[in-house]
């Protein structure tokens, strides 16, 4: 019998499981699919608290995650990079963004219209197709078990462990009757990298972003709330390409190497991370991170591990 069962194999579930293993817990992860099939695998996975409002604990999670990925990049962990980043603002803001202390070293520059300011900083970027399988390997090396299993009720896991971590993302709405959970559709285009190394993000509506990885560049994006459609929309891809080439002309003519759609697991009121007593044990909820799962994951994992213990 495991000490803890983590239900969910995306970035939130895997990082929480690793933290629990590091505490000495015997951990089993239940996931209906491999890491490459999770919504985390579709993410651009660049550190930035997208559509996240200020809360002290979210700032702490973001800072801890930023530091963790910086250390991993310096240590040469596969799939972890740090990119110089340009945020182009349009709202006329003059003060520091709420997340500034987590990123550290922000520089502010004037910008030509339609932008009102440019913020430069260094941001971790994670290539999820490399990093998620690496996390799974770390778990196995630490003695954890990873089981392909879909659950209809969290009680199933409580029959086999006294503590269950609910990291089920969008599925949490049904599993624990949370009406605040909703999908946010995101569509991206990936093109071959023509030699770009700087991330650019235009904070307009819709937001436009260009995130260069080692072999390709992730272009986006969309933020379509309560849209469950996972089919690719060619018109959306064309619009993304037009906006991104206008923003970074070096992308013109870069061949398309992939197009993907994912449903971000958003929640009204922000992420739910708390322990709840159930018949048969304790459920630690960890879901509702929206488009900021990568940005908050390691800091959130610290809190999940503390709650589970």
> What are the domain boundaries of the chain?
4-308
Per-residue pLDDT in tens (0 to 9) along the chain, 309 residues: 799 999 999 999 999 999 999 999 999 999 998 888 888 989 999 999 999 999 999 999 999 999 999 999 999 999 999 999 999 999 999 999 999 999 988 999 999 999 999 999 999 999 999 999 999 999 999 999 999 999 999 999 999 999 999 999 999 999 999 999 999 999 999 999 999 999 999 999 889 999 999 999 999 999 999 999 999 999 999 999 999 999 999 999 999 999 999 999 999 999 999 999 999 999 999 999 999 999 999 999 999 999 998
Q: C-alpha distances in angstroms, 299 versus 58, 65, 281, 285?
A: 8, 5, 24, 15
Tokens of 248: 């970074």
Q: Does domain 4-308 have CATH number 3.40.190.10?
A: no
**Closest among 90, 149, 157, 88 to 120, alpha carbons compared:** 88
pLDDT at 133: 96
Check the CA dihedral 307-178-269-32 and report its sign: positive
- What's the alpha-carbon Rg for the chain, to the nearest Å? 19
pLDDT in tens, 237-286: 999 999 999 999 999 999 999 999 999 999 999 999 999 999 999 999 99
Which H helix or E strand runs over 301?
helix 293-308
Q: Looking at the chain, which runs of residues are DSSP E strands?
A: 4-7, 27-31, 80-89, 107-109, 117-126, 145-148, 163-166, 181-192, 199-202, 208-212, 216-220, 224-225, 256-267, 272-278, 281-287
pLDDT at 158: 96
The whole-model pTM stands at 0.96
pLDDT at 278: 95
Which residues 6+ apart lie within 8 Å of 219 measured at CB?
188, 189, 190, 191, 209, 210, 211, 240, 241, 244, 251
Check the CA dihedral 290-46-127-217 and report its sign: positive
pLDDT at 35: 83
């Amino acid at each position: 019998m495991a000490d803890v069962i983590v239900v969910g194999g995306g970035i939130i579930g895997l990082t929480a499981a690793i933290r629990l293993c590091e505490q000495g817990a015997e951990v089993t992860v239940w996931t209906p699919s491999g890491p490459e099939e999770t919504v985390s695998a579709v993410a651009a996975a660049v550190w930035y608290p997208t559509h996240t409002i200020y809360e002290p604990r979210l700032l702490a999670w973001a800072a801890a995650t930023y530091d963790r990925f910086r250390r991993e990049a310096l240590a040469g962990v596969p799939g972890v990079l740090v990119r110089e980043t340009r945020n182009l603002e349009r709202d006329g803001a003059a003060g520091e963004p709420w997340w500034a202390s987590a990123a550290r070293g922000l520089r502010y520059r004037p910008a030509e219209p339609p932008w009102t300011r440019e913020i430069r900083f260094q941001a971790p970027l994670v290539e999820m197709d490399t990093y998620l399988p690496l996390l799974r390997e770390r778990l196995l090396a630490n003695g954890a078990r990873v089981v392909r299993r879909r659950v209809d009720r969290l009680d199933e896991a409580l029959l086999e462990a006294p503590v269950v971590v609910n990291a089920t993302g969008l599925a949490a709405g049904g599993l624990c009757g949370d009406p605040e959970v909703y999908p946010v559709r995101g569509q991206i285009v990936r093109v071959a990298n023509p030699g770009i190394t700087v991330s650019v993000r235009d904070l307009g509506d819709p937001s436009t972003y260009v995130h260069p990885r080692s072999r390709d560049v992730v272009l986006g994006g969309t933020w379509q709330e309560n849209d469950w459609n996972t089919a690719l929309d060619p018109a959306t891809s064309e619009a993304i390409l037009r906006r991104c080439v206008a923003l970074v002309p070096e992308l013109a003519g870069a061949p398309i190497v992939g197009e993907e759609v994912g449903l971000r697991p958003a929640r009204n009121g922000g992420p739910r991370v708390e322990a709840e007593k159930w018949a048969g044990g304790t459920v630690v909820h960890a879901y509702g991170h929206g488009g900021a799962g990568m940005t908050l994951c390691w800091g959130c994992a610290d809190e999940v591990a503390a709650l589970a213990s």
